[in-house]
Amino acid sequence: MLDVATLIVYSGGYIFLVFLSVCLATGLYYLAELVEEYTKLAKRIITYVTQAVLVLHVLVLVVDRLPVRCVVAGMAAHSCYLGELQKYPFMQLWSPVTAGSIGFFVLSNALWGVYFWRDSWHSLEYIFGFLFITTWLVPFSLFLSVAANESVLPGGANAGMTFSSSSNNLTGLDTRKKPGKSKNILLYCFGLLRRQRDEVILPEVNNLMPGMVKTQQHRY
């Protein structure tokens, strides 16, 4: 039989996870808007981070004597990421660079997973912290950044546009904004989740306190 203290601990843990999820979603929403507005700055930052991670791979190989196959796979993946950044934020899904990025990313995760599985004396926090910096940080940044504009994704209408210096504009790009269409894929997803939340929660709140949420519904 559970005592009161244990029930409080479990309840607090689940509530903490809910708040953590909300904070994470809010942070991703904010980052997506920043990337959408400052694409060139995002490219520069991701390039510097990728180069720094490559240096870290060399250090863990020379200083910590970590397995060569794991380090080489990670360096190959980040070299592909640098190649992907050459045409940032545009990308081609079937290009050799993109295929290499995905392949080496999967291989790097698999090799590091086998290594840490055999060396089980590492704590879970140690493993996640190491993999986040050396394996997940740059791909996550690329995913967040490439979603900055749906027209630069594979199959987008403007994926193959070129820049014309004479007209000071992007060839083939329709500069007229289409009303009601979100430019950012992630922002669209977050907006969709927010609308679903409002459809479920706001009617219940409105039944309890009529007229309290009318202003918020009008804003959305």
Average pLDDT, the chain: 75
pLDDT at 206: 63
Region 166-177: what's the mean pLDDT? 42
**Is 50 exceeded by the pLDDT of residue 131?**
yes
What share of the chain has pLDDT > 70, as a percent? 65
Neighbours of 153 (CB within 10 A): 17
**Is 70 exceeded by the pLDDT of residue 216?**
no
Region 115-133: what's the mean pLDDT? 87
Q: Classify residue 98 as exposed, middle or buried by CB count within 10 Å of its CB (0-12, 13-18, 19+).
A: middle
Region 9-13: what's the mean pLDDT? 85
pLDDT bracket for residue 170 (50, 70, 90): very low
pLDDT at 193: 65
**Is 90 exceeded by the pLDDT of residue 132?**
yes
Positive or negative, the Cα torsion across 201, 204, 207, 209?
A: negative
CA–CA dist 141, 78 (Å, integer): 12
**Is 80 exceeded by the pLDDT of residue 154?**
no
pLDDT at 186: 59
